[in-house]
Structure 1
Amino acid sequence: MRYILHPHPDTPPARVRGVVVDLVATATGLLLTFIVEGGDALLLPEAKSPLRAGGLWKTTCFELFLAPGGSESYLEFNYAPSTEWAAYGFDSYRAGMRDLPQIAPPHIARGGPDAGYIIEVDQELDDIPPGPCHIGLSAVIEEVDGTKSYWALAHAPGPPDFHNRDCFTGRLPASEQ
């Protein structure tokens, strides 16, 4: 499934022209491909060991939010072009934040700006309860000139806030396991 992200109206990009996400559900998780059109303008961190890290959203970072249907709880996954990552659980809107200790580390591969910058993520979700989920896909894009733009499937009124359920407009059906 292909999703188109939209920049927040208060934080337009300078040279980046678009962000799309291809999402494929697998038997064990999700394959995500984030494509940035105008990727030659991105400020990219140096590649590092693929370790869990905090504060990834302070520069170019790609995000996945999963919210089980009928629940206030949700999960947040951050993927940086450095190949660092983070995974958090929340009890409700920005409340009860904790690291997800049992989540399998994602495999993150980064590409170049030739046809648009690409980051591919293979995220296992074995420890996630089965069932349909609402999805939020987002990106913080920092450009070489310092411009930061905030991209999501949809935006709530006010400043950018990827945790707002108004941003979770994608749907992931229950797995067929």
Structure 2
Amino acid sequence: MLDPVEPEGLITAMLRPHPGGMSRPAVQMEVKLERQGDRLWVRFIVAGDVGAVKWPTDQGGGRADRLWEQTCFEIFVRTADGYREFNLSPSGQWASYGFVGYREGMTEAAEIVDVSPLDLASDMLALEARLDLPASAGKLALSAVIQALNGDRTYWALVHPSDKPDFHHPDSFILDLP
């Protein structure tokens, strides 16, 4: 799945399931990122038994809340005044929130997201998006919620610094912004 040579500026990262999670679909998750001026291009790729994943139905895009209750991809960006959370749904919907501290002061953020139509194959689904970066963007955390057909959710991230899934954990912000 990995390209042998990445173009300059393109970062590829693998997400891992939380070790304390339930049984999960037999999938792997890769994320590609590239900074494009004041925006971030991102591509989440789920490969393997994608038919075992419960995918949200197409909702035509737009801002929406509570996307993490279903299969959803997430990007967290450290900022000078806290951090931003971006939720990207295979439904085409998205959300952006600002926090002033660890899970504190949640507000709707001004940054917007453009979610592209899904790339689908029998053994792969990819969601691509471009999102506005906050002015003082710093380190990133990447994560995903994958819901199985039976409703069980597994939690994926670059790292899992606590015994319970916690995408907001300060030690999750480990990736340098490209």
| TM-score between both structures, scaled by the size of structure 2 | 0.87
Aligned to 1:73: 82
TM-superposed CA distance for 1:158, in Å, is 2.0
Alpha-carbon distance in structure 2 between the residues aligned to 1:167 and 1:13: 23
Identity %, equivalent residues: 35
Contact 2:115 2:127 in 1 (8 A): no
In structure 1, what is the equivalent of residue 132 of structure 2?
Answer: 124
Q: Find the aligned partners of 2:121 and 2:55 in 1 and give their Cα distance.
A: 11
What is the match of residue 19 of structure 1?
29
> 2:62 and 2:68 mapped to 1: Cα distance?
15
Could you report, residue by residue, the CA deviation over 1:23-68 in whole angstroms, capped at 9, with x for unpaired residues? Answer: 0111231111101122222111110121111110001000000003
Letter in 2 for 1:157: S
Work out the number of aligned pairs and report it.
Answer: 167
Query: Is 1:66–1:134's contact at 8 Å kept on the other side of the alignment?
Result: yes
| Equivalent pair of 2:39/2:131 in contact (CA under 8 Å) | yes
Task: Return the alpha-carbon distance in structure 2 between the equivalents of residues 89 and 74 of structure 1.
Answer: 6
Aligned counterpart, 2:14: 4
Partner Cα separation in structure 1 for residue 123 and residue 12 of structure 2: 17
Residues 122-144 of structure 1 deviation map (CA, whole Å, 9 limit, x = unaligned): 1133xx2145x110000000111
CA gap of 1:136–1:95, structure 2 versus 1, over 3 A, is same
For each residue in 1:52-95, what CA deviation from the matched residue of structure 2 results, as whole angstroms up to 9, or x when unmatched? 11110001000000003xx4600000000001110000000000
The Cα shift of 1:13 comes to 4.4
- Give the 3-state SS of the residue equivalent to 1:40 in structure 2: helix
Distance in 2 between the 1:130 and 1:157 partners?
27
CA drift of 1:15 comes to 2.2
SS at match of 2:116: strand
Equivalent pair of 2:71/2:147 in contact (CA under 8 Å): yes
The one-letter code matched in structure 2 to 1:98 is T
The TM-score, its normalising length taken from structure 1, stands at 0.87
How much has 1:107 moved relative to structure 2? 2.9
Cα distance in 2, alignment partners of residues 147 and 113 from structure 1? 23
Counterpart amino acid of 2:135? P
Gaps of 5+ in 1: none
CA distance in 2 between counterparts of 1:60 and 1:116 reads 15
Cα distance in 2 for residues equivalent to 1:15 and 1:47: 21
